[in-house]
Amino acid sequence: MNDFIIATVSTSDLSADYMKEHNVPFISYTYSIDEEIMVDDCTEESRINIYKAMREGKMPSTSQISRFAYYDFFKSLLETGKDVIFVDMSRAISNSIANAESAMEDILPKYPNQKFHFIDSFCITVPLGLLVKQLVLLKEEGKSFEEVVSWGENHKKEYIHRFMVDDLQWLRKGGRLSNASAMVGTLLSIKPLLYVTNEGKLVAFSKVHGRKKCLHALVESMKDDLAEYSALEEIAIIQADDYEDALGFRELIKETYPELENATITINTLGPVIAAHVGPGFMAVTYHGTKRVM
């Protein structure tokens, strides 16, 4: 019987419309602007509002999802009587995963006749969303709970993250870079290229001077992990309040890789939780590729 739930978190940065249409419940992170607590509801309106605030010089902060919130979320899923696949973002980036696992230890013994599988995706933001979309597609094609779980566990580390941060001051404010490094980097217009490793960690793999050169370097680096099947699934650009630049970035990708000319390359807006740590101007290309090279 193909009757189970695939659920995820708001930091998959899928749209609220997609998740409603495909019956994908999600648990929301919260963030604060000027001490006002807001819920990441995965709407475009929320994404527009946080960039407006950041452009005005406001510094958002983010919070973990509590064990109690996870418990209530898992309870709402299990009370449907269906089996559950829950896909969360990388534990190497989110400390919330420990709270999720604690909540599972408490709730799952109360539902012994239902299957519940937790996938640590080793992904963040839209690559997590791409993984969830593929799992949903398999489910809608009639694959069983076990088949969907197996595919997710076997392929989750093939989702590639290639990121660029435009302004190092946001990393400094978030405590991920020293004041001196951020100041020197800003003065020299140095922009780090970032990659998510097999361990789900976000690491810098190069530093480039100037935004234009950085975008070209980002595209050039795709050659290391593009697969023949990459063009058969969605390739996703992630932009942070710079849609026009993302349009040009998409054309650059197609010019560089003719085999992607007819691929579906979408442009997605980075959600507020991850945006709070990287700031406006962030750009990324993400896709289902070969095994990660780092």
CB 281 within 8 Å of CB 241: yes
In this prediction, residue 46 carries a pLDDT of 95
In this prediction, residue 22 carries a pLDDT of 98
pLDDT digits (tens, 9 = 90+) for 231-246: 999 999 999 999 999 9
Give the β-pairing of 83-88 and 4-9: parallel
Mean pLDDT of the chain: 90
pLDDT tens string, the chain, 294 residues long: the values are 468 999 999 999 999 999 999 999 999 999 999 989 999 999 999 999 999 999 898 989 899 999 999 999 999 999 999 999 999 999 988 889 999 999 999 999 999 999 999 999 999 999 999 999 999 999 999 999 999 999 999 999 999 999 988 765 645 454 443 333 333 334 335 777 888 999 998 887 888 878 899 999 999 999 999 999 999 999 999 999 999 999 999 999 999 999 999 999 999 999 999 998 888 889 999 999 998 887
Per-domain residue ranges for the chain? 4-156, 158-288
Select from 176, 162, 165 the least CA-distant residue to 256.
Answer: 162
Mapping DSSP to helix (H, G, I), strand (E, B) and coil, where does residue 62 land?
A: strand
pLDDT digits (tens, 9 = 90+) for 17-59: 999 999 999 999 999 999 899 999 999 999 999 999 998 989 8
CATH code matching the domain that covers 4-156, chosen among 3.40.50.10170, 2.40.10.220, 3.30.470.30, 2.60.40.10:
3.40.50.10170
CATH 3.40.50.11780 fits 158-288, yes or no: no
Residue 273, amino acid: V
Indicate if the alpha-carbon torsion angle 144, 87, 126, 204 is positive or negative: negative
Which CA distances in Å does 136 have to 116, 140, 148, 175, 230? 16, 6, 8, 36, 18
Sorted by sequence, the CB contacts under 8 Å of residue 127 that are 6+ apart come out as 159, 160, 161, 196, 236, 286
Determine whether 228 is exposed, middle or buried from the number of CB atoms within 10 Å of its CB (0-12, 13-18, 19+).
Answer: exposed
The DSSP secondary-structure symbol of 109 reads G
